[in-house]
Amino acid sequence: MEMAVANHRERSSDSMNRHLDSSGKYVRYTAEQVEALERVYAECPKPSSLRRQQLIRECSILANIEPKQIKVWFQNRRCRDKQRKEASRLQSVNRKLSAMNKLLMEENDRLQKQVSQLVCENGYMKQQLTTVVNDPSCESVVTTPQHSLRDANSPAGLLSIAEETLAEFLSKATGTAVDWVQMPGMKPGPDSVGIFAISQRCNGVAARACGLVSLEPMKIAEILKDRPSWFRDCRSLEVFTMFPAGNGGTIELVYMQTYAPTTLAPARDFWTLRYTTSLDNGSFVVCERSLSGSGAGPNAASASQFVRAEMLSSGYLIRPCDGGGSIIHIVDHLNLEAWSVPDVLRPLYESSKVVAQKMTISALRYIRQLAQESNGEVVYGLGRQPAVLRTFSQRLSRGFNDAVNGFGDDGWSTMHCDGAEDIIVAINSTKHLNNISNSLSFLGGVLCAKASMLLQNVPPAVLIRFLREHRSEWADFNVDAYSAATLKAGSFAYPGMRPTRFTGSQIIMPLGHTIEHEEMLEVVRLEGHSLAQEDAFMSRDVHLLQICTGIDENAVGACSELIFAPINEMFPDDAPLVPSGFRVIPVDAKTGDVQDLLTANHRTLDLTSSLEVGPSPENASGNSFSSSSSRCILTIAFQFPFENNLQENVAGMACQYVRSVISSVQRVAMAISPSGISPSLGSKLSPGSPEAVTLAQWISQSYSHHLGSELLTIDSLGSDDSVLKLLWDHQDAILCCSLKPQPVFMFANQAGLDMLETTLVALQDITLEKIFDESGRKAICSDFAKLMQQGFACLPSGICVSTMGRHVSYEQAVAWKVFAASEENNNNLHCLAFSFVNWSFV
Amino acid sequence: MERLNSKLFVENCYIMKENERLRKKAELLNQENQQLLFQLKQKLSKTKNSNNGSNNDNKSSSASGQS
């Protein structure tokens, strides 16, 4: 046996030296020959025939080999490389899936135990309730929660708070203390960073993440505790006291300040106890909870700018994973005191999705990023280290947050602009800026004009993407040139505003991006063209360092930002940055009952999903409903460096400029908002909305009209909603696609989404032909005429492909025309519907 | 391997669904648990109230004895 194995192994390793030639015989290569070929392969995996001939000529040891064989060798070599790559990819996917599998099994185990324990407990209590209660042993069952007042000043009191925090955190991280539901729009799969959940009904807002990272637990704990490094909204974190907890753990008292996302409400701060310890099973835990009492921060003046928010037991559980790496559980549970903010903003402070995006998911993403960098898997542009580029992004983001918040202890003071404006103008003297960079000492200071406003019906990602790609639509080149020149002025005399014309050309050069492309760092070059003769040889280009975040439309609750700062063309690592920019934050809709019901039952639904729907009588009433479902807050803050004597001028210019930018952005917003063009086309539609109910009716009515049988079995004379519900829960995959030359999907029921392995949002990027393979497409084509004439077509069993590339077999597919049953026109063709019967993954 | 991976993926999805179901169940049971606890407490305090006089006497006498 042993022998056979060894023998086999030798053969397989030998296979690289032997190749089948055209006549079907093996060609043997010597070790030297292989080495020579490998050397060439390393340089050029696909040499031209010329190169191959040259190789035979130059390399004497290859002289006896036919050119054709050499060609075959390279073909085989490339093939082997490809196979190897594929194998390693599959291996890594497999590792991830296995780890997730293990995790889920454990959770399953825990839940089962919990259920059985609860059943047992409840049974006991029921029994107790029916028996005579005089029995004193009853009292032991009733455990009253202990709310004893502990002294938060004594170590013993703090230790007991720490232990309680730990228990609470663990029950949230791995148990059922919070009613977790899967984060909408984030389907777990081999490519996702982790499993994310949010809470919808707990006290405050909460989010949870679970993921696998190839770093040591200790290292991860260290990174996560350094919150300012990954939590962009963290302004500062200060550890006040630190003492050992006796069991090897440490207790810290922490004061943290966070930035406000808009100019409309004050920022939040936290006074917490943080407990770091390890568990018996080798896991690390960092858990944290707010302490009552004032526990004021550094000084009263600084603290007065904040509203104290509460952190409920939150933290990180990091478990070492066999085979290296760790499994991380993150829980963030906050109460952001939503009552204290204006009504419009309240949903923002009550949204678990926002916390999930800002804290939970970004923590996990950051760790993943560092892990990838340490493995050397990340390639960055222009020869900069990832860490340097990250510092740039952090500084841009921080500078923008500082401008939006304008904290007094940073040196900001509010200054007034003419007239009653929504625009706030604040000014910061140089002294404080000197801390940022010495090269700015010549400046009189920095002035900031900022405002926050509500936008309706504009997808934040689309707006920011537009602003990024079409800078000339809203920006004034001369203002950019002015800011750039003022910052540069340290090295030579202030050049003033030379007559320069913007050529209109904007070049975006990418520097780097995060692993999931949710943040991109880039340099924007605006080509200037000097109008003055003597400057003909001087470059008038303006360079901006820019970050763009959240332009993925499918990220739920994510805010989108475009932040830029003028930078010198060499962009040195310590370049002074005075960032300006936009932030657009989606505001959750107040969901209707139907929506609540549907989202509770089907977590893959997304409230912001939009469908294209033709004119329908319901639209008039539906619009008010759907328009409220898409609102966002735009915050804009522009900073302008100025020289001492120019403060007044710059203030006037800033105000005017920001006002013009705002009106440009509003114009853009109007143009890209779906209802801006035509209220009947592409209006927002969520599965609980009247439009979806109508569509469901049309689908089922058209089906019975064409096929003479019912698609849905409605047992009672149900309401309109129940048709949608029945359709949604139908076991067959029912899909609708548009009638364009290139049909695109617009709706699918749960089975349809499952079959295509997608979400309602992503569905709308999928074309009909994408889901069929070659033969399926042919079948559709041949039956298409029949479908258009007869109104329906039955396709035989076949194979289609999910978005993840998996093959799906179905017993039968029915396609039919869906008519809009409008009163004026009875034959208004609306879309095509497909029903895949008895489908399964192959 | 490909097959194994898709099997794992499906399995994971299945367990996730199962976990969701269990979590729901646990939540319901927990609610029931709280309710039962509340009922038990009520019943207890009722019986306590009925025995109130003698209980109070016992407690106060033992307390004064300790001090």
A90 → closest Cβ in B1, B36, B40 = B1
Chain B partners within 8 Å of A112 (Cβ):
22
Query: Does residue A426 carry a pLDDT above 70?
Result: yes
Q: One-letter amino acid identity for A772?
A: F
Question: Tens digits of per-residue pLDDT, A299-316?
Answer: 666 667 888 899 999 999
A90 → closest Cβ in B5, B13, B27 = B5
**Look-up of token digits 């050029």:** A44
Helix (H) or strand (E) holding A118: helix A67-130
Q: One-letter amino acid identity for A109?
A: D
**Do B18 and A108 count as a contact with CB atoms less than 8 A apart?**
yes
Q: What is the pLDDT of residue A210?
A: 86
Chain B partners within 8 Å of A94 (Cβ):
1, 4-5, 8
Percent of chain A, pLDDT > 70? 76
Interface membership of A90 toward B (CB under 8 Å): yes
β-strands A284-290, A314-320: how paired? antiparallel
Q: Which residue out of B3, B4, B5, B51 would a mutagenesis test of the A interface target, given it has the greatest number of A Cβ atoms within 10 Å?
A: B5
Give the pLDDT band (50/70/90) at residue A600: very low
Percent of chain B, pLDDT > 90? 0
Q: How far apart are CA A616 and CA B20, in angstroms?
A: 38
Confirm if A111 and B18 have CB atoms less than 8 A apart. no
Helix (H) or strand (E) holding A829: strand A828-837
Residue B67 domain-assigned (yes or no): no
Confirm if A613 and A685 have CB atoms less than 8 A apart. yes
Q: Burial code of A237-262, b = ≥16 C-beta within 10 A, e = fewer?
A: beeeeeeebeeebbbbbbbbbbbbbb
Give the pLDDT band (50/70/90) at residue A32: confident
> Higher-confidence residue: A399 or B46?
A399
User: Distance, in angstroms, between A34 CA and closest chain B CA?
Assistant: 30
Q: How far apart are CA A347 and CA A32, in angstroms?
A: 71
Chain B partners within 8 Å of A806 (Cβ):
6
Tokens, residue A597 = 């019901």
Q: Which residue out of A84, A91, A108, A115 would a mutagenesis test of the B interface target, given it has the greatest number of B Cβ atoms within 10 Å?
A: A115
CATH assignment of A386-589+630-677?
3.30.530.20
User: Distance, in angstroms, between B52 CA and closest chain A CA?
Assistant: 13
SS (H, E, C) A564-614: EEECCCCCCCCCCCCCEEEEEEEECCCCCHHHHHHHHHCCCCCCCCECCCC
User: Distance, in angstroms, between A117 CA and closest chain B CA?
Assistant: 10
User: Distance, in angstroms, between B62 CA and closest chain A CA?
Assistant: 19
Question: Tens digits of per-residue pLDDT, A330-376?
Answer: 999 999 988 888 888 888 898 888 899 889 988 998 998 888 888 76
Phi, psi (deg, nearest 5) at residue A484: -60, -40
Nearest in space to A48 (alpha carbons), one of A71, A18, A64: A71
Could you tell me which chain A residue has the CA closest to the CA of B38? A142
Residue B66 domain-assigned (yes or no): no
ipTM score for this prediction: 0.72
Query: How many angstroms separate the Cα of A38 from the Cα of each of A33, A43, A70, A77, A78?
Result: 8, 9, 12, 9, 11
Residue B60 domain-assigned (yes or no): no
Could you tell me which chain A residue has the CA closest to the CA of B43? A133
Q: One-letter amino acid identity for A201?
A: R
Nearest in space to A243 (alpha carbons), one of A221, A273, A280, A222: A273
Q: What is the pLDDT of residue A654?
A: 87
Q: What is the pLDDT of residue A718?
A: 52
β-strands A194-199, A180-182: how paired? antiparallel
3-state helix, strand, coil in chain B (%, to 5): 95, 0, 5
**Look-up of token digits 């200071």:** A445
Could you tell me which chain A residue has the CA closest to the CA of B8? A97
Nearest in space to A46 (alpha carbons), one of A76, A24, A69: A76
Confirm if A799 and A813 have CB atoms less than 8 A apart. no
Query: Does residue A460 carry a pLDDT above 60?
Result: yes
Helix (H) or strand (E) holding A512: strand A500-513
Q: What is the pLDDT of residue A69?
A: 87
> Higher-confidence residue: A176 or A560?
A560
Top mean-pLDDT range of A107-116, A281-290, A749-758, B34-43: A281-290
Q: How far apart are CA A683 and CA A687, in angstroms?
A: 13
**Do B9 and A190 count as a contact with CB atoms less than 8 A apart?**
yes
| Residue A99 neighbours by CB distance under 10 Å | 18
Burial class (CB in 10 A: 0-12, 13-18, 19+), B45: exposed
User: Distance, in angstroms, between A210 CA and closest chain B CA?
Assistant: 13
Number of inter-chain CB pairs under 8 A, A vs B? 95
Q: How far apart are CA A202 and CA A176, in angstroms?
A: 12
As a residue count, chain A comes to 842
Q: One-letter amino acid identity for A442?
A: F
User: Distance, in angstroms, between A585 CA and closest chain B CA?
Assistant: 30
Query: Does residue A824 carry a pLDDT above 60?
Result: no
Chain A partners within 8 Å of B29 (Cβ):
115, 118-119, 122
User: Distance, in angstroms, between A195 CA and closest chain B CA?
Assistant: 10
Tokens, residue A696 = 């469901």
Chain B partners within 8 Å of A190 (Cβ):
5, 9
SS (H, E, C) A428-483: EEHHHHHHHCHHHCCCCEEEEEEEEEEEECCCHHHHHHHHHHCHHHCCCHHHHHHH
**Do B8 and A138 count as a contact with CB atoms less than 8 A apart?**
no
Helix (H) or strand (E) holding A562: strand A560-566
Query: Does residue A613 carry a pLDDT above 50?
Result: no
Q: What is the pLDDT of residue A593?
A: 31
Confirm if A709 and A618 have CB atoms less than 8 A apart. no
What is the domain extent for residue B16? 1-45
Written as one string, the DSSP assignment of A304-338 is: TTEEE-EE-SEEEEEEE-TTS-EEEEEEEEEE--G
Could you tell me which chain B residue has the CA closest to the CA of A135? B44
Q: One-letter amino acid identity for A779?
A: A
**Do B8 and A189 count as a contact with CB atoms less than 8 A apart?**
no
Chain B partners within 8 Å of A199 (Cβ):
none
Confirm if A690 and A617 have CB atoms less than 8 A apart. no
Q: How far apart are CA A165 and CA A653, in angstroms?
A: 53
Chain A partners within 8 Å of B33 (Cβ):
118, 121-122, 125
> Higher-confidence residue: A434 or A464?
A464
Q: Which residue out of A85, A114, A200 would a mutagenesis test of the B interface target, given it has the greatest number of B Cβ atoms within 10 Å?
A: A114
β-strands A745-748, A733-737: how paired? antiparallel
Q: Please state, rounded to an integer, the average pLDDT across all residues of chain A.
A: 77
**Do B23 and A93 count as a contact with CB atoms less than 8 A apart?**
no
**Do A97 and B44 count as a contact with CB atoms less than 8 A apart?**
no
Strand-pair partners of A591 = none
CATH assignment of A690-841?
3.30.450.20
- For A755, the 3-state DSSP assignment is helix
User: Distance, in angstroms, between B15 CA and closest chain A CA?
Assistant: 7
Q: How far apart are CA A761 and CA A775, in angstroms?
A: 28
| Domain ranges (residues) in chain A | 2-89, 155-378, 386-589+630-677, 690-841
Q: Please state, rounded to an integer, the average pLDDT across all residues of chain B.
A: 73
Question: Tens digits of per-residue pLDDT, A485-542?
Answer: 777 754 433 444 455 566 667 788 888 777 777 888 888 888 776 655 554 445 578 8
Q: How far apart are CA A144 and CA A734, in angstroms?
A: 52
Quote the Cα angle for A371-A108-A93, to 5°: 35
Q: What is the pLDDT of residue A822?
A: 58
Residues 6-65 of B with CB under 8 A from A: 6, 8-13, 15-16, 18-20, 22-23, 25-27, 29-30, 32-33, 36-37, 39-41, 43-44, 46-47
User: Distance, in angstroms, between B66 CA and closest chain A CA?
Assistant: 23
Query: Does residue A101 carry a pLDDT above 50?
Result: yes
Q: How far apart are CA A738 and CA A570, in angstroms?
A: 50
Give the pLDDT band (50/70/90) at residue A150: low
Do A2-89 and A386-589+630-677 agree at the fold level?
no
Percent of chain A, pLDDT > 90? 17
Q: How far apart are CA A229 and CA A382, in angstroms?
A: 23
Q: What is the pLDDT of residue A233?
A: 93
Confirm if A831 and A818 have CB atoms less than 8 A apart. yes
From the candidate CATH numbers 1.10.10.60, 1.20.810.10, 3.40.640.10, 3.40.50.300, the one assigned to the domain spanning A2-89: 1.10.10.60
Q: How far apart are CA A125 and CA A827, in angstroms?
A: 63
User: Distance, in angstroms, between A171 CA and closest chain B CA?
Assistant: 13
**Do B40 and A90 count as a contact with CB atoms less than 8 A apart?**
no
**Do B33 and A190 count as a contact with CB atoms less than 8 A apart?**
no
Q: How far apart are CA A610 and CA A600, in angstroms?
A: 19
Mean pLDDT of A655-681: 72
B29 → closest Cβ in A87, A115, A139 = A115
Residues 178-197 of A with CB under 8 A from B: 179-180, 182, 188-190, 195
- Sheet of A631-642: strand order equals A412-415, A424-429, A445-456, A631-642, A580-587, A560-566, A542-549, A519-530, A500-513
Q: What is the pLDDT of residue A768?
A: 83
Q: How far apart are CA A631 and CA A639, in angstroms?
A: 26
Domain A155-378 has CATH 3.20.20.80: no
**Look-up of token digits 């030998």:** A14
- For A809, the 3-state DSSP assignment is strand
Could you tell me which chain B residue has the CA closest to the CA of A840? B10
- For the four alpha carbons of A146, A148, A153 and A157, in that order, the dihedral sign comes to negative
Strand segments (E) across A175-292: 180-182, 194-199, 205-213, 234-244, 250-258, 267-278, 284-290
Strand-pair partners of A175 = none
Q: What's the domain count of chain B? A: 1
Least confident of A44-48, A135-139, A838-842: A135-139
**Do A138 and B44 count as a contact with CB atoms less than 8 A apart?**
yes
Phi, psi (deg, nearest 5) at residue A445: 150, -170
**Please, what is the end-to-end C-alpha distance for chain B in angstroms?**
76
Q: What is the pLDDT of residue A599?
A: 35
